[in-house]
Amino acid sequence: MKNLPSGLDDNTLEIYRCKSGKVKALMNGNSVSYIELPGILREPFQAELIGDRAAINCLRNEMKITDSDEMEEKFVSCRYGALDSSPDFDGKITRTDAPVCDCIKYCKGFNVVCKVPAGKNGTLGRSEYMVATLVAMGKQDKEIAAELSIELPTVRTHLNRIREKLCVNNRIEIADWVQSHGIV
C-alpha cells in the first residue's frame, strides 16, 4: 500500500508540481499556490535559496529568471516538487526531493537547482541518473539505449558506474535505490 502524500492529514508541508507546471503546497489537506503561502512557511525555502549561490547563479544566468518570486518558485519546484509521503517541511527542517521532471535530459539546473541524492561512493551524473530511472521502470538495456539515443556499450558503462557509486550489485538493487529515494 502506498503512503498518503505528506500534508494531506498532518501539519507537515508538501510542495508539488502539477502537470500544468504550477507549484502548489499541501498542508492539512488544503492545496494552495506555493507563492500564496504565508511568509513564515516560505522563509525556510527562501533561506536555502539565499544560501545557495550556485543555484541563484544558475537560475539567473542559465535559466534567465530575474524576478525574485519566479526565481523562488522555480527553485522550490525543482528541489521539492515531487509529491511523496516524506514531508518537504515539518516545521523544523526542510527535506529535498530527488529530481522528477521531464526536462532532466536538457535542464541547465540539473543537480544545481535540483539535487540528486548521493550514493555511498558519489552522486550519479545526468546520464547515469536517467539510466537508473529507466532501470527502475523495468527497461532492458536495448530499450534504455533506444530511449536515450545511446549505444548499448554506453548503457553498460553507465550501469557499471551506477553500481559503483550506489554500492549495489545488480539491477534490482538499482531499482530499489531509485524507488526508495522517490525518483520513480
Tell me, what CATH number does 128's domain have? 1.10.10.10
If phi > 0 it is left, if psi is from -120 to 50 it is alpha, else beta; for residue 28 that is left
pLDDT at 138 over 50: yes
Query: Which residue range forms the structural domain that includes residue 67?
Result: 1-115
pLDDT at 1 over 50: no
CA distances to 64, 143, 145 from 115, rounded to whole Å, are: 20, 26, 25
Q: Do 36 and 97 share a domain, yes or no? A: yes
Q: Classify strands 23-27 and 30-33 as parallel, antiparallel or unpaired.
A: antiparallel
Q: Do 41 and 81 share a domain, yes or no? A: yes
Q: Do 94 and 150 share a domain, yes or no? A: no
**Could you count the other beta carbons within 10 Å of the beta carbon of residue 52?**
17
Q: How far apart are CA 111 and CA 83, in angstroms?
A: 19
pLDDT at 179 over 60: yes
Q: Do 107 and 122 share a domain, yes or no? A: no
Q: Do 14 and 101 share a domain, yes or no? A: yes
Q: What angle do CA 107, 63, 121 make, to 5 degrees?
A: 40
Phi/psi at 89 (nearest 5 deg)?
-150, 125
Q: Do 111 and 153 share a domain, yes or no? A: no
Q: Do 151 and 139 share a domain, yes or no? A: yes
Q: Which of 115, 146, 168 is the last residue of a domain?
A: 115
pLDDT at 46 over 90: yes
* Grid-cell match 502548489, residue found: 24
pLDDT at 122: 95
Q: What is the pTM of this model?
A: 0.85
